Chains A and B, each alone.
Chain A
Amino acid sequence: MEKGNALNSYLWLEEHGDYLFHFALLKLKNTALAEDMVQDTLVSAIAAKDGFSSNASVRTWLTAILKNKMVDHWRHQGREISAVDLIGGADEGDNVDDFFDKAGRWADMPNAYQNPDSALENKQFWSIFQHCLLGLKPQQSEVFLAKEVHGMSNEEICQSYSLSLSNAWVLMHRARVALSKCLELHWTS
């Protein structure tokens, strides 16, 4: 992206606001605080425009500023945490084994969703969808949201979350299995 256009702060909110909000919300679990973080991040980014290298994606750059804001916030609360902790690292465990038996067969066979298309018009469905997303393990929901909701490429995801490509595949698979099952259990049209 051209540098001039990339640094138009009015586009940041439109193009990256929801992404930054998700990112903060999944870590902070507090809507008002996550909104404040997004605002702080974008305001600081205006002052820091000179530091933007056109090699980076704007989203990656804004996310880095947001991570620093969150680390500062936790420091203020007396919690020692580094930016590295913020992007996972620790293995969350293999919850996918809950869904398969030892021989690798489905513990519960997936069933077809009933009337999936009408679900998309149904308010109740969307609140279940959000409930299921928030119920994923943090790294899984981050990677799933980045990919499927925000349309980020695998390269961008690996860079933003410091993941190898094979880690990213594993997280996507776990997220998809867990989400499918959660929707199947909770959504009965």
Chain B
Amino acid sequence: MMLNCKQASELMSQAMDMRLPFGKRMPLKLHVLMCSGCSNFMLQISFLRKASSRFGTSHYCETMCLSDEAKNRIQKALETEEAR
């Protein structure tokens, strides 16, 4: 089975989340060995995973995480509700 880059990138994306069956792993390995674009893509999505897991806990998450002020405010509301 000869893969094109689109198919290879789909398999690389799946491989981030599950172990691919042997029949897909081998053609993927061959393709990535021969294709610098896809081997770069593999590095890119591993980096994305690293950055994303860091993002959730980092103080760099500004617009997309609850701010400390919001957290405090919500915490107070919860305490009030629990005390009722």
Chain A contacts to B: CB under 8 angstroms: 9-10, 12-13, 17-18, 21-22, 25, 31, 35, 38-39, 42-43, 46-47, 96, 100, 103-106, 109-113, 116, 119-120, 123, 126-127, 129-130, 133-134, 144-145, 147-151, 154, 169, 172-173, 176-177, 179-180, 183-184
B53 near A42 (CB under 8 angstroms)? no
A173 near B13 (CB under 8 angstroms)? yes
Give Cα A13–Cα B72 distance, bound, in whole angstroms. Answer: 10
A25 near B64 (CB under 8 angstroms)? yes
A9 near B53 (CB under 8 angstroms)? no
Q: 18 A-B Cβ contacts within 8 A?
A: A9-B82, A10-B75, A21-B64, A21-B66, A22-B65, A38-B70, A43-B77, A46-B81, A47-B81, A110-B44, A127-B62, A130-B62, A130-B64, A145-B52, A176-B45, A179-B48, A180-B45, A180-B48
B82 near A109 (CB under 8 angstroms)? no
Secondary structure type dominating chain A contacts: helix
A17-B9 contact given A47-B81, A113-B44, CB 8 Å threshold: no
Secondary structure type dominating chain B contacts: helix
> Top 4 closest A-B pairs, CB basis?
A104-B4, A126-B60, A148-B52, A109-B37
**Within 8 Å CB of B55, what residues of A?**
126, 129, 149
A35 near B45 (CB under 8 angstroms)? no
B4 near A169 (CB under 8 angstroms)? no
Q: Is the CB of B51 closer than 8 A to any CB of chain A?
A: yes
**Within 8 Å CB of B45, what residues of A?**
176, 180
B6 near A149 (CB under 8 angstroms)? no
Give Cα A58–Cα B14 distance, bound, in whole angstroms. Answer: 27
A180 near B66 (CB under 8 angstroms)? no
